[in-house]
Structure 1
Amino acid sequence: MAMTALTVRTLGEDDWETYRDVRLSALNESPEAFAATASGEKQIEEDEWRARMRRSRRLLAENEAGDGVGIVSLRTHSNDEVDQPYGELFGLWVAPSQRGTGVAVNLLEALLEQARKDNLGAVLYWVGTDNARGVAFASGHGFRPTDYRRPMNPASPDTESTEEIAFVYPITTDSEHVPSAVIDSRH
């Protein structure tokens, strides 16, 4: 499958409708991959979508026509027990017609570049232990598995995984080991 021209941009608060539309597409297309449902998120009002935009960075991949073909989010966490803030990659989704064309890799590279600019020590990525494609993607792009696991909270009964594993991508050399305070502070 040939790769078409692709751009990745960070969405601002005023791009909430763009984010909402791609997010709803993701939830409709891959309900088993998320802890939310399209029907539930369709009920969310503008002020909550705007609040979501302020809480996390949303990176959108667009094709030549300006259509959103992929999305990923980066949330920053910090607490008194860690020296450097860290990021959490979540909500990665690529339109089915674009899978295997490099969209996910472009989104990941843009997210990691943003993490460097934000001076984050590491980026965490929770992946279902039975999600072979997700585990291979994380491992193949520099994320290292950790010993941390947690139960999944999927919205869809079709989800095969019941547990997630934390992968870490060290940004700075002192972030080789993720302290438990990083994992435990997750909401």
Structure 2
Amino acid sequence: MSKKLKISLIIGGVALLLFVSWFFFLKDDYKQIENEVYSLSQWRTHIVHIEMIDDDYALAIYVWGKNQHAGVIEFERTLFGWKMTSGISERLFETHQFVELENFSVIHDSVRPNIKEVRVQLRNGDTHSALIREGNDAAEIYMVNPDRWYYYSDTEDLAGATVTTYDKDGQVVEEIQIPDEPSRGAVTQ
């Protein structure tokens, strides 16, 4: 083998190793998902939270417009980054949203100022704590409540669940009955 060919192979191998290392280890998953959400070009979009679910899936919860719409997008990791698999954005006629995506069901709502805990009781009697995420001040520009609670599952049926919110003293603030039909009949895309 000629010396030039050996040097070319070594340089090519190092370049390939650097590219693979960058691709799998150094890329920013959150930034990729943010870019995908913003690519929808919905007016005044604010991402409330990105939930990384194991290494293969993620959920992005966002609001857009002047607090008139909320959405959830499910992402799946592919060889070339994150791909939207399904999602839905709904006008906020009611305070909570119940959506079924390709792999996950999600219930979410904005957090009232006095809410400190949210519990979801399923029809089968199982009770789970919902996750509460505090937004950032940037959302205030858009007149959006940046704080939201959410509960998601890939195995449980969330239809007909009862959501109970509690204040700091553990007193019930509100009890919400989740409908049997997700998204008020809207179709996910």
Q: Which has the higher contact order (CA 8 A, sep 6+)?
A: 1
Short-chain TM bin: under 0.3
Q: Which has the higher helix share?
A: 1
Larger radius of gyration: 2
TM-score of the two chains, using structure 2 as the length reference: 0.26
Q: Which has the higher strand share?
A: 2
